[in-house]
Amino acid sequence: MARVTVETVDHVARLAHLSLTDEERRTFARQLDEILAYAESIQSLDTAAVPPMSHALTSEVLREDAPAPGLDQRTVLEAAPDPAEGLFRVPRVLGG
């Protein structure tokens, strides 16, 4: 089975855009290792011929692609921490 180390947690935290403290890294590594050891029970089942279930709903959910009014730009931007000139402002991405 997979063993969760602090390095695994670091890798996954990068993927998930989480900056963790040293204590969080160590605690999560230990706890996730325990949780995955528990989850190991499902590895013993023969699932070769079993289809995966992604969703409980089997009915048709597609609709007509009809345009309809949504929220206006001003209303949406009011919720943002740093809106500017009709845009979401974020720290610099390019250059320095």
Residue 21 or 67 with smaller CB distance to another protein: 21
The least distance separating another protein from the CB of residue 29, rounded to whole angstroms, comes to 9
Interface pick for another protein out of 45, 65, 67, 86 (rule CB under 8 A)? 45
**SS3 state at 13:** helix
State yes or no: residue 84 binds another protein (CB under 8 A): no
Q: Distance (Å, rounded) from C-alpha 75 to C-alpha 24?
A: 37
State yes or no: residue 88 binds another protein (CB under 8 A): yes
Token pair of 52 as six digits? 């995966």
Q: Distance (Å, rounded) from C-alpha 39 to C-alpha 78?
A: 43
Burial class of residue 25 in the structure, from the number of CB atoms within 10 Å of its CB (0-12 exposed, 13-18 middle, 19+ buried): middle
**SS3 state at 12:** helix
Interface pick for another protein out of 59, 69, 84, 86 (rule CB under 8 A)? 59
Q: Which stretches of the chain bind another protein, using CB under 8 A? A: 2, 4, 8-9, 11-13, 15-21, 24, 27-28, 31-32, 34-36, 38-43, 45, 47, 50-57, 59, 61, 63, 71, 75-76, 78-82, 88, 90-93
